[in-house]
């Protein structure tokens, strides 16, 4: 098991034991697991994000801590968060990454991912002037997410 997987698993166990909220000290956790504190930071920023249903706050200093709270969010909440945060433009690589995350989290199905990816790729937008493609892509992407049926909803 990779170190980042071990860290994430340990944090998830803490959250389960503490009914969804855990406080950790980065250095103490790093010492317990046998890693450097920056690895803890990496896991927190990549696996415990608002899109994945977590709220992370930190208090720096001598008695500092990191508080992780598991939020009860719906799959529709995840989609709305993305729609609200995409902005006015997005590149094709960012669309692919977001779609992959939505599929991995089982928010949307494979066919929806493929359809959105096809509609927003550079080939589909070839007739759009290059300086406008990312803006048009963002509009298409957000609108398609809004009308896509969320898995299990």
Residue 1 has pLDDT above 80, yes or no: no
Whether 101 shows a pLDDT value over 60: the answer reads yes
> Residue 47 falls within a domain, yes or no?
yes
pLDDT for residue 90: 97
* 8, 47 contact by CB (below 8 A): yes
Do residues 53 and 37 make contact, with C-beta atoms less than 8 angstroms apart?
no
39, two tokens: 């690895």
Per-residue pLDDT tens for 55-98?
A: 898 887 766 789 999 887 788 888 888 999 899 999 999 999 99
Domain interval for residue 17: 3-70
> Residue 42 belongs to a domain with what CATH number?
3.30.56.130
pLDDT digit string, tens, across residues 118-153: 999 999 999 999 999 999 999 999 999 999 877 665
Q: Is residue 153 part of a domain?
A: no
- pLDDT digit string, tens, across residues 11-70: 999 998 988 899 988 888 889 889 998 898 899 988 888 777 788 988 877 667 899 998
Q: Are both 89 and 135 inside the same structural domain?
A: yes
Judge whether 137 and 89 are in contact, CB under 8 Å. Answer: yes
Looking at 21, 47, 70, the residue that finishes a domain is 70
Overall pTM > 0.75: no
Given the DSSP bridges, would you call strands 21-24 and 54-59 parallel, antiparallel or unpaired?
A: unpaired
Is the CA virtual torsion 23, 25, 28, 34 positive or negative? positive
CA–CA separation, 91 vs 11, rounded Å? 33
pLDDT at position 110: 94
DSSP 116: H
Residues 7 and 56 grouped into a single domain: yes
Is residue 10 assigned to a domain?
yes
Same domain, 36 and 97: no
Is residue 82 domain-shared with residue 137, that is, in the same domain? yes
pLDDT the model gives residue 124: 97
Pair (47, 110) in one structural domain:
no
């Amino acid at each position: 098991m990779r170190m980042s997987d071990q860290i994430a698993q340990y944090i998830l166990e803490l959250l389960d034991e503490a009914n969804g909220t855990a406080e950790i000290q980065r250095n103490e956790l790093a010492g317990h697991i046998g890693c450097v504190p920056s690895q803890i930071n990496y896991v927190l920023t990549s696996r415990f994000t608002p899109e994945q249903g977590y709220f992370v706050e930190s208090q720096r200093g001598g008695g500092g801590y990191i508080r992780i709270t598991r939020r009860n969010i719906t799959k529709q909440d995840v989609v709305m968060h993305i729609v609200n945060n995409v902005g006015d433009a997005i590149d094709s690589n960012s669309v692919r990454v977001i779609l992959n995350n939505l599929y991995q989290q089982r928010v949307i199905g494979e066919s929806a991912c493929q359809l959105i990816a096809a509609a927003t790729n550079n080939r589909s937008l070839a007739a759009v002037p290059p300086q406008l493609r990312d803006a048009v892509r963002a509009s298409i992407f957000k609108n398609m997410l809004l009308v896509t049926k969320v898995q299990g909803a």
